Structure 1
C-alpha cells in the first residue's frame, strides 16, 4: 500500500480524493490543508508520494514542490490543480514534478487517472532507488576487493575504480570514472595504450600479438604478468586478471580487471634463490674445509703422542696448528658472510639475554650499521623496546625448558616507529656438550601476509553478515559455505545446510537441471535468475540469484548471492491485478462515454453547455438541423447570445437563473443561420466543476415553432370569429330596429 500525502486548501475536495483513492485499497491518504502543514507531516511520517494543489494561500504548489525537492529529492510529487496555464505546467516539470494533472471533467475518470499516475510515479521512483541500491552494493563489493580493480563499459569508459587501485596509482576514483580512450593505462605506463582488459574480446592470435609476455586464457578470463609497468616512478611487476561483464540477459556490458602488485614477491623469490645458491656453495666449501680441519686435527693428535721424542716436529705441528686456526677464523668469517647474505634475520644471546651477535639484516632492523654494535646490548636498547619484555619472556622460557619455539607470529616496532609483524623461531644455544649457553633466533617480516589475512578476515565478516544469502557450492551440488542470512532466512542451522545438496533446498534444481546450469555457468561466468527455496518449515519462498563461476586448481565452484523476493513478487502480482482492474474500469468508462456520446448525437432537442463567459463549449448535432448550420465548428466557441434572435433576452434568462437556480419551460426565439427566428423552450441550470464551483450553464432547447404556428392560427381564427360575431350582432340589431 502506498502512503500518499494530499495537500489542498479545499477540505471537501480533500475528503473526496481521500475517499476515492483509499477505496481502491492501494493507497493510504493523509491530508493537509496547507503546504506548511504538509512539510510538517512529511518530516515526521513515512510518505511514498505527495499530491498537491497549485493555488493555495501562503505557499503555492510550485513553492511547496521546490521545498520538497530541497529536503527530499527522491520523493515523488504530482501537481493536481484546476490551473491549466502552460507556464504553470512548464515550471512544475522544471521544478521536478513527476506528473501534472488538471482538475475538471468526470470525477471518476479523473481520479482513476490520478490513481494510475500515483502508482506509476511511486513504482518508477522505487525502481530507481532499487537500481541505485544495487549499484551501490556492487560498488561497495568492488571497493572491498583487496586487489586493485577497475571496470569499463563496452565503449571503454571507466565505470568503477576501487580503493585499492586508488592506493596503487594515487589517482582517486573521482578523477578516473567517466574517462575513456585508455586513460586508465596512464597511471601504469604514462601514456594511452591497451591493457589486458582490452584483449578479453580479442582472438587468440590478437592476444598473442599483445604487449604481455605471458598470457593465459581460461574461458572468458585472461591472466597475464607484466614487468613493464612503472607507477609513481617505481618499476613494478603486476599479476593481472581480466574478464567480461554480462547483464541479466547474457549480453556483454563491459569488462573488469584486477591487478595485484607482486613486485616484492618476485624480488624476494630472486633474492631467496640467490641466497640459496650462495648458501649451497658456502656449505660445500665449509664441508671441504671441515674435512680438511678434521684431517689436521688427526695429525695434531698424532703429534701430541710423539711430542716428547720429537720437539722439532712439535714446533712444526704448532705452526701448522696456527695455520689451521687462521683457516678456522676465515671459515667463521665466511659463515658470517653467508648469514649476512640470507634475507632472514639471525641473532644469538647469552644467558643474561645480552646480544652475542647477529647478521647484518638484523643489525639494520635494530637501527645499527654493523652487527658488532649490538654486542652486549639488550632488547631494551633497540627500536622495539615496547616489545622487549615480551621477547625476553619467550627467551627465558626457551632457555629454561630447552624446548624450541618455532614459527610463531609477533609484532615489532621499527626504529622509525612503524609497527610490523614477524614470524619468529627460537632454539636453545648449546655448546658441544649440550649445555645451554643462551638462545639462537631467526625471524622474517610477514607484515604483508598478516595484513592480507586481516583484509581476508574483514571480507569474510562482511560476507558472513551480508543482508542477502550467500552460498558456495561445488559442481557436484554440495553446499560448502553459507552466511548468517542464509541460515536466518531458510531456518536451517548452518551444520544442516552444509550437509545438504542444492537439490534439497531448491525444488526447481533437480540433478538434470543442475548439470545444465553448471555448463551455462562455465560458459558465461555470471548468471542472474529467479528460482525458489524450500525453508526448514516447508514454506516456499521466491529468490533472485546472482551467481559467479570460480575455480581453484582443478576444483570449480559457484559463488551465489540470493535475495528473498517473495514480497516483491506478491506486490507485482497485486500491481498486475490493480492494472487489470484499472483497465476494466477504463473500459467501463469508455463504454459510459460512448453511451453518453450516442445520446448526445441522437437527441432531437438541442443539448448545450457554455463556459462562464457564455461561449458554447458543447452542443448536440441537432442544433445544426434546427438552426441551419452544416458543421459544429460554426457553433462551438461562439457566444450563445449571438444565436438569440433578441440577444438581450440572454441577460433576462441569466437573471432568472441567478434568482431561482434553474429555468423551466422558458420560451425564447433563437436565430437561424439565414437570420429567421425560431421559437424554442429551454430548461437550463448551472454546470458545476469537481470542486463544486460554477463553471458554466447547460441545458436543453426544444423546438416549439409548430406549437406557436398553431397557437397563432388559433388566435387569428378567434379574432376572425369575434369580428364575424360582432358583425352578425350589428346586423341583427339593424333588423330589430327595422321591424
Structure 2
C-alpha cells in the first residue's frame, strides 16, 4: 500500500484528487489543506510520496519542499500546480523535487499521469532502500565473517606467464596473515607483502586456475608464525579467491598432545616406583625401567601382550593382582594381600612377593587407579609398586625404641619427622600433620623430597643429603609443600641417630619451627617499601625524601632529570647535600622547615604558605649541573611513624616556568588587548543568559546613549531601544546562533539613543559556555557604532541610482537623435542620384549610427556591473541562456533552448542553430560558480565574438575541468582550482593580437566586450586568457579559484 500525503489549499481539488487516486487499490491519500498541517503529519507518521500544490497561503510548495529536505526526509516530492513558469520548475527541481506536474490538462489524463508518477516514485524509493539494505548486509557479512577472504589476480611476466599475484579485495581478517588493513593490502603483490622471492603457494593457485578445481590445504606463514587452513577456488581466468581460517592454536594443541603423550611415557619410564599401565583389554601399554629391574622382565617381553604376561612377571603363575580389581569386584582380591584398601577410585595393598629381584623377594606397596577418557569412561588402569623392604627392616630395627619415639614425636608441639639412611620417612608427628595437611600414613615410606616444592627443590635435596653424611642442620630455612598446594616456610634443626655397634647412620630426626607468618610480614614490609620507592620514582613531579637525620633516602627519576644529579650520587648523603644540588651550596631548603621554622629561610622564597602540616613555596632556581633556570612550586610534608612522631619529610617540586611565562604573556596580552579595544572604539559586553544580566564597558554605555549608567545591567536595557523593524531580525540571528546554525552571532540594526536619535550598530558575539544539554549559558561580544559607515553606503547607493538614471535618460535621448539621424540618411539615400561616392558617404553615416547605437545599448547592459552582490550560478544554465541570446546559434523549441544529447554522452548538451549551422556543445557538468550576476554577459560576448569574427566557425565547445596547472604559463596552483574552457574551430586569433584583445576599446564592434568581460570575472577573483593557436581556432580559459566553484547533484 502506497501512503500519499497530498497538500492543497483547495478542498475541492483535494477531494477530487483523493477520489481519482484511491481508485487504485494500492494508494491511500491523506488530504491536508496547508503546509503547516502537513509538517505536523510528517513528524507523527510515515508517507511514501508527498504531492503538494505550489501557491498556498502561509507557506508555498517550494518553501514546504525546502523544509522537508532540511529534515533529511528523502520521501519523493511531486509539485502539482497550475503555475507553469519555467523558474518555478527550475527552483523546485533545484531544491530536490522528484517530479513536476501541471494541473491544466484533461482530469482523466492528469490523474492517470499523477497516479503513474506516484507509483514510479514509490517504487524507485523502495528499490533504493532495498539496495542500500542489501549493500549494508553484504558489507556486514563480508567484514564480520569468521573466516578471512581475499580476492587475487595473477601478475604475468613479458611472456604472459604468471609469476606473482596481487590482492584485489580482502576483508579485515587479512590482518591475521599479512598484518595489514584491507586498504593497505589491496594492490600489493604477494612477494611485496611477504617479502619473499618465492611466492607462497603459487603452484597450488596456478593449478586451481588451470583446472578450475578448488583446492584445500594447510599453510604456514613464517612472517607471523601462524598456520592457516586455506580453501582456494577460481573465479575466472587469471583470478582466484581464498577463504582461510587460523588453525595455529589447533596445530599447537595437536603438537602439544603429541609432546604430552611422549612426556607422559618418559615420566612413567623414569618414575622411581615400578609402574605399568594396561588398556581396557588388559594389554600392557607401558612398562617402566624400575619394574624391569624389580621383575627382571623387559618391556619388549610384555608390551602389547595380554593379562597373563604381567601376572607371571610377579608370581610366575596366573592369579588376579591389584590392577585387575579396577575391572572386577574387590572380593576377588581378598586373601591375596595382607592389607587391602580403597581411597576414591584408587586401590592400595601391601604384599610380600618372593619372586622379586631374581628370587630374593621383597615387600611391596602397590597402588592401582583407573584411567578415564573425556566422557568419564574407564579406558585402562595404572599400577605403581613401591619396594618397602627396607622400611620393613627399619621398622624391625627400630621397634625397641618405637614407643619412646612415638610419645616424643606425637606430643611435641614442633613439627618433627624422621627419615632413614635412604631418605625415606619413617616417622611423621602430629604437629607435622597439622603443618602440611598430610597424614602420617600418607607420608611414611615416602622420600623426604616429596615434601619439597618444585622451586628450589634441587638445593633443598642437597641440604638433606648433608644430614646423611653426618652433618646437622642449625636453623636451616627450607620451604615445605602442603597437601592443599600451599607452602610453609620452616626453620629446621637436625640430629643424627647412629648404631652403637658400628656407628652407622640409622636415622635422622628433624625438628622445625614454622616461620611463614613472620616471613610474610617481612616480605610485605620489604614489598611495601619497594612499592613506595617505585611510586615515588615514577611520580611525574621531581620528588625526594629525607629521614630525621636529614639524609636523602629517595630521589626519583624526575628530579634526576631536573637537577642532573643521579640517585646513586645523592641517596644516603646528609649535611644539606640536597641544597647544594639546587643552589650550589649546602644550605637548608623548604623541606628543612618541616623540622623547624626559619624566617630567614622563608625570605629566600617568593612566598611561603602553610596548610596544616604542609608547606608550599615558590622560587626561581638554577641547578649548577644543568645551568638551566626555572620557576618551581615546592610542596613539603612530614612523614610520621605509628606513634605519630616525625621520622622524615618529603618534598615534591613542580616546574611552573611555562605557567609563569604564560601568566606574564597573558598579562601583556591583556594590556595590549585593552589598548586595541580602546583604539578601535568598541563596546564590549558579557551576557549571562540564565539571569539576563549584562556586564558592559564604558564605551558600550556611550553607544547606548547612557554613559553614566552602571556597567552591570540587564539585557532588556538594550532590547527595548532596538528599532521595531529590526527587532525580529536581531532575535532570529541570536536564535540561529544559540541553536548552532551559525558559528558566530552577527547582525546590524538601529538603536534609539536617549536624545531620540537613531543610530546604526553592528553586534558580533559568540556563546562561550553551554550546559550539558547544549543550552547556552553565557555569551560575550562587541558592539560597534556604524552609523557613519551606513550613511556612506546609502550616499553611494543614492549616487549610483542617480548616475544610472542620468545614464538611462541620456541614453534614451542619444538613441532618439541617432534614430532621427539614421532616418535622414535613409531619406537622402533614396532621393540622391546613384552617385557612388555619395552612396559610400551615406553608407558610412548609417554604419556609424549603427555602431553608436550598439555602444549605447552596450552601456545599458553593463551599467549594473558590480552593483549587485555575487551569487552561486549553475554554469550549464548560464551558458545555455547566453547561447540562446546569440542570433543564429541556437534553435528554440516549446521549452526554450532545444538541446539534444549527442551519442548518449551523459552530461553533454548540444545546441544547433538553423541559419548559421553553428553547433554549441555544453559539457560543463553540474557545477556552480560564484560570480557577478552579469556572468551570462561574459559568455554572450564570447559566443557572439566567435560567430562574428571566428572565420568559418562551425562548432563551439564550452567545458569545465579541475586540474592543478593550467596552460603553458602555469597560472594555476598545484592541488586546486578549476578552468572554464570556451573554444571554437575557426581561424583563431593572430599572435600579434593576443596580448591586446582584452584592452579597452580594442577590436571591432564596440571594442569593450572582452575588456568588460575580464572586469566582470575579476570581481570574484576569476581571470581569463586566450590560449588557442592561430589557424586552429580560438580558445579562452577562465581560471576559477577553488573556493568559487562547487559540484551539485542534478535533480
TM-score (normalised: structure 2): 0.25
Greater Cα radius of gyration, structure 1 or 2: 2
Structure with the bigger percentage of helix: 1
TM-score (norm 1): 0.34
